[in-house]
Structure 1
C-alpha cells in the first residue's frame, strides 16, 4: 500500500510477456510538483491543479523546458528477459550528457539488479509462442519484420525449450558438484533469462525512455514493457505524461 496524490493505492504487477511484469514500487510528486518547480523562478506556488497549471505543463513540454519534470520521481520493480534489461540499462548510462562523456552514470537515476552471484532462485526463461517469432526486416539491418510461418515458429519454440532445459540441467549439476553460483551461471542461456531489478528515474527520464521504446521500430518485447510503464506514468502524472510522451497513440499504449 502507498499514498499517491492523497489516496491509498495498492501497487499491482502489470503482466508483460509470458512471465514478466512491471510494478510501481514508490512515487514522489505529481503533476503539481512540476508546476511548482517552474513557478519557483517567480517565487510563486500553486496549491491546486487548474487549467492554468495544465497550460503551463503544456508550455514547458512543447518548448523543451524539461528541468521541472526532474523533481518528481518514480521507482519501478521490473522482471524481464536479459535482452530487454540490457537495452533498458542504456537509460542509466546515457541519461546525462556530462556523465556519459566521463563514462559515469547519471547520479539522479538508479538501477539495482538481483545477482546470481548471491541467489539461487530457480531460473525462468522467456519462451515466445510459435506464433510470436518474427522474421528479418527487408529494408534495414536490425530489428524485425513480419511473423514467420507457424511451422517455422513451432520448431523454433521447441528448440528453444530444449536448449534452455539443457542449460538449466548443467547449471543445477554444477551447483550440486559444489561449483560457486557466480561460475555455475555460465551454463544458463543468457538472453532469454529473466532478471529482476529496481529502476528509479524522474518523470522526464521515464518519458525519454518511452518516446524511444514506444516507437514502432523498437524491439517488440521492449515495447510491451514500455506500454506498462506508460500506463503507470499516465495514471499518476496524467498531464505530464500526455504532454511529454508523444508516441503512445502510435504504439497503441
Structure 2
C-alpha cells in the first residue's frame, strides 16, 4: 500500500524514499570510519541512542517524498514546517522541498472539502483555537448545505470569469479558499517528518490535519520502522 485516502476526497501517497534505518546508523558511524552492511541489533541500539540523546543529524540523511491532496486550510498549516525546518534542524538551510499545483496554470474542476452533517464540531470549552464536541445533527446539516451553496456560487462566478476571458490567476479569486483541495509534493528528512508528526498527532491538533498525520505515519513506518519510532515522543 502506498496511498491512503484522507477526509472525503483527499489522500497521501508515498512517492519515493532515500535510505533506510541502516543509512541512519552508518551516517553516525562514519565518525569512526565504520560501516555496517546489514541492520543488526547493534545498529538498532545505536539509532535508539542517537534519538534519546538528541543527536539528530544522522536522521537528516534519509528522505521521504509524498504526494498530498488536502484542503488549503490543512496545506497552510503544513507549510510552516517547511519554513521552520531550517531553524529547527539548526542547519542554516533545509532539505525540505514543497511544490504545489497552482491555479495560475491549471483550470481543472475545483474540488472542495465539505464536512458531512455529523462532522461539524463546536467551540472548545477553554481555548481560542481547536474544537470541541460534535454539534447537533440539525445544526451540522444546516451548515453543510450552506457551505455547498456558497461553493456552488463561487464556482459559477469563477467559471463565468474564465468564459469572459479573465486570466486564471485572477478568476481564482472567486473560489472559496480554505476548503479548496490543493495537491503538492513534500520531500523531507526523517527528522522533519517526525517533528511534523509529534505536533500534528497531538490530541489538540486540528482534527483534519491529525488525519493526514496518521496517514503519513502509516506510510512511513514500514520504510523506517526503527528511526521513526525512536523520534516520536
The answer to whether the Cα contact below 8 Å between 1:94 and 1:106 also exists between their aligned partners in 2 is no
Report the CA distance between 1:96 and its aligned residue.
1.3
Q: Quick one: distance in 1 between partners of 2:161 and 2:119?
A: 33
Counterpart Cα distance in 2 of 1:209 and 1:33: 21
Normalised by the size of structure 2, how large is the TM-score?
0.97
Counterparts of 1:46-57 in structure 2 under 5 Å?
46-57=36-47
CA gap of 1:147–1:168, structure 2 versus 1, over 3 A, is same
Other structure's SS at 1:189 match: coil
Q: Using the alignment, how far apart are the partners of 1:224 and 1:53 within structure 2?
A: 32
4+ runs of 1 displaced by more than 6 Å? none
After the TM superposition, which residues 204-243 of structure 1 pair with which residues of structure 2 at under 5 Å, given as runs? Answer: 204-243=191-230
Cα deviation for residue 13 of structure 1 reads: 2.1
Question: Structure 1: any 5+ residue segments left out of the alignment?
Answer: 1-10, 247-253
Q: Which residue of 2 is the match for residue 74 of structure 1? A: 64
Aligned to 1:137, which of 114, 124, 148?
Answer: 124
How far off is 1:133 after superposition?
Answer: 0.5
User: Which whole-Å CA distance do the structure 1 matches of 2:218 and 2:100 have between them?
Assistant: 23
Distance 1:17 1:143, change over 3 A: same
1:64 aligns with 2:51: no
Q: Tell me: CA distance 1:98–1:218, structure 2 relative to 1, closer, same or farther (3 Å).
A: closer
Question: How well do the aligned residues superpose, as a CA RMSD in angstroms?
Answer: 1.5
C-alpha contact (below 8 Å) 2:2/2:15 kept by paired residues: no
Q: 1:98 to 1:240 in 2, by over 3 A?
A: closer
Distance apart, 1:235 and its partner CA: 1.0
Structure 2 counterpart of 1:119, from 80, 88, 106: 106
How far off its partner does 1:99 sit? 9.8
Question: Equivalents in 2 of 1:179, 1:97: separation in Å?
Answer: 41
How far is the alpha carbon of 1:98 from its aligned partner? 8.4
SS at match of 2:65: strand
Provide the rounded CA distance (Å) in 1 between the counterparts of 2:211 and 2:228.
17
Q: Which has the higher contact order (CA 8 A, sep 6+)?
A: 2
- Are residues 1:12 and 2:13 paired? no
Distance 2:138 2:203 in 1: 26
Question: CA contact under 8 A between 1:126 and 1:192: conserved in structure 2?
Answer: yes
Deviation at 1:241, TM superposition (A): 1.1
1-structure distance, mates of 2:2, 2:35: 33
Deviations 1:27-53 (A, max 9, x none): 100000000000001110011111111
Greater CA drift, 138-147 or 90-99: 90-99
Q: How many residues align?
A: 232
